[in-house]
Chains A and B, each alone.
Chain A
Amino acid sequence: MSILDIVINGVSWVSIVTGSIFLIIGATGIIRFPDFWSRLHAAAIVDSAGAGLLLLGMALQAGLTFVTIKLVLIGIFLLITGPTSTHAIANAAFVSGSRPLGDKSGKPVVPADVIEPPLTAEPITAELNEDLTSKT
């Protein structure tokens, strides 16, 4: 076993254990954070740091084989789909009227330049409606 093998083995150890720690941290955040928007932040830790470090550790264990290509593909898919679905969830929650918890006085912290959508779930699909009605 050459020195390079030992170094690669050690780096993969470290990244897998660190990824596991990040997973536990994210799960604790999902359990204990007070409202939906902060839980979104905790779930992002699981999606990015935990998954990324675990995949990196597994790729270092596998070496330069076909398995590594599959691992990189899984990583790319997770990098594309994770933010997309998180954005979809956050957008749906915002449109439905959910707002982050406020500061200590209970006032919601929303920046002044945010355009408030109507609180009822009016569809944002005026163009879609027109398309559908013009067809029928």
Chain B
Amino acid sequence: MFVVAVLSLFVTMILVLFRLIAGPTLYDRVLAVNTFGTCTVLFIGVLGFLFERPEFLDIALIYALINFVGTIAILKFFRYRALGDQPNIKDNGENAQ
């Protein structure tokens, strides 16, 4: 039965990749990346059960955390055009070095 889950996850990831490539706006792509990350977490977990090595779940746990941080970082970058502290946020990057 885990083969069914692995196959459906595979199909889901391929379909989401199509949306990631074809997405008309930036936010479609970010949404597709986010969904793809969730699918990857599930994929690693199910694959661990399929190969009877449930230690894979640790990797899935780490991947869930990294996925969340990645999505927030992408959105922050596209709103503020910077990831860290900005000394001159008021002049909208005109005097950016």
Contacts and interface: CB of A to CB of B under 8 A. Distances in A.
A64 interface: no
Given A19-B5, A21-B8, A89 B16 contact: no
Contact of A67 (B11, B32, B54): B54
A89 B12 contact: no
A82 to B, nearest CB: 7
A34 to B, nearest CB: 11
B68 A85 contact: yes
B8 A20 contact: yes
Given A74-B64, A78-B64, A24 B87 contact: no
Nearest to B69: A81
B27 A77 contact: no
A119 interface: no
Interface residues of B, number: 47
Interface string B1-44: 11011011101100110110000010110111011001101100
A30 B19 contact: yes
A136 interface: yes
A85 B72 contact: yes
Contact of A89 (B34, B80, B86): B34
A58 to B, nearest CB: 6
Interface in A27-74: 27-28, 30-31, 36, 39-40, 43, 46-47, 50-51, 54-55, 57-58, 61-62, 67, 70-71, 73-74
12 contacts: A16-B1, A24-B8, A24-B12, A30-B31, A43-B34, A47-B38, A55-B45, A58-B49, A89-B75, A92-B79, A93-B25, A98-B25
Given A23-B12, A70-B54, A81-B68, 17 more contacts: A20-B7, A20-B8, A21-B8, A27-B12, A30-B19, A30-B31, A43-B34, A58-B46, A61-B49, A67-B54, A67-B57, A70-B57, A74-B57, A74-B60, A77-B68, A85-B68, A89-B71
Interface of B: 1-2, 4-5, 7-9, 11-12, 15-16, 18-19, 25, 27-28, 30-32, 34-35, 38-39, 41-42, 45-46, 49, 54, 57-58, 60-61, 64-65, 67-68, 71-72, 75, 78-80, 86-87, 89-90
